[in-house]
Chain A
Amino acid sequence: MATTSKQYKAIGEDIWKSRTEKTNTELFALTYGALVVQLIQDYEDYAEVNKQLEKMGYNIGTRLIEDFLARSAIGRCADFRDVGEVVAKVGFKAFLNITPTVTHAAAVPTSPSRTSATSNANASGASFTLTLDDNPLAEFVELPEDALEGGLWFSNVLCGVLRGSLEMIQMQVQATFTSDVLRGDETTEIRVTLVKYLEEEVPVGDD
């Protein structure tokens, strides 16, 4: 397990280094900040802004996964636990140059009669939590009072990206923030929960 983790870190490091056009972090942070502020002015409802950020992230994620798989050439993940590792060590590293720590939680068995615990990592309800110790999107941000009260998750676009990219590889997940340093919490954490594995479906409109 440890070696695989190191391998993932090395792969992530390589992808980041081999990327020739890197963006200025400040420009990135300022652009995202301006985007969020504009959304707030347009919608005036923080729950709606959260939703829109997530939607935007979803659209980004569906396209980003292609880029990621092309660059990393990582094979299929064995189970959801593996997915968590790859997302944290390779995915985040390759695009944001940060490595969040992953903590896994197996699914809670729904039926008490189920004795075998083997495939628990793949069961729906399995989840992992990403703890970001530094968030490049929120570099200069201080949330005003009403944003704090309104429940704004500033970096909600990341949740959408996770949902979108994992959906393209046949996993339906739910990604939400559980805590955020901008809100005064100690850590910034995203919990990703597996809802179900998707069957291959013929896209609507194809004959």
Chain B
Amino acid sequence: MPPPLRLNAVAFVSPQNHPILIRTFAQPSQDELKYHYIAHTSLDVIEERIAAAATTKSTECYLNLLYTMEDVAVYGYITPLKVKIILALALSDSVVRDVDLITIFRAMHTAYRQSAANPFLKLDAPTEGINDHATVLLAGGAQWKGFRRRVDEIGRAVAAQGATSAPGT
């Protein structure tokens, strides 16, 4: 029986290190700002890993455990276009399988891909700085409504999966 994964938060960061979306799934009492901070810290760790991976010519997307802090374990994933996905899992004693995490990352990546394919995404961008794709990806925009919905669904699916695999009471 796979141990339940408790997904606390997910963060998407653009190639220019601007936040695209930060979503928390844990109890609402949790401080959202804490996950912004976690995402920031992760960026440094990711850059280290990428630098290390570049020397070994690795094209691996999944970055595995980045670091742990207080009660969360942070995992990273980088898409081929350098969009970073950061998952914060509640720290638990049970073993967390790589394959489960990779599945979640792939689902998140797909959600991002589908939302980015929206042809109306660029309409809100300012006309200057056209070369910088990051301007169209800024967080909190109304155009990310569908993206938020998809990410929430993934969060719910993970939580449900965790609940069903827990021993029945």
- Interface on A for B, CB 8 Å cutoff? 26, 29-30, 33-34, 36-37, 40-41, 139-145, 147
Contacts and interface: CB of A to CB of B under 8 A. Distances in A.
A147 B120 contact: yes
Nearest to A30: B117
B117 A140 contact: yes
Contacts of A33: 117-120
A142 B120 CA distance: 7
B144 to A, nearest CB: 9
A135 to B, nearest CB: 14
**A contact face: mostly helix, strand, loop, or mixed:** helix
Interface residues of B, number: 13
Contacts of B142: 144-145
Interface of B: 114-115, 117-120, 122-124, 142-143, 145-146
In the A-B complex, the 6 residue pairs with the smallest Cβ-Cβ separation, listed nearest first, are A33-B119, A140-B117, A142-B146, A37-B119, A144-B120, A142-B118
A160 B122 CA distance: 27
Nearest to A139: B117
Contact of A140 (B114, B123, B124, B145): B114
Contacts of B145: 142
Contacts of A36: 119
Contacts of B122: 37
B120 A26 contact: no
A142 B143 contact: yes
Q: Which of A29, A30, A140, A141 has the most CB of B within 10 A?
A: A140
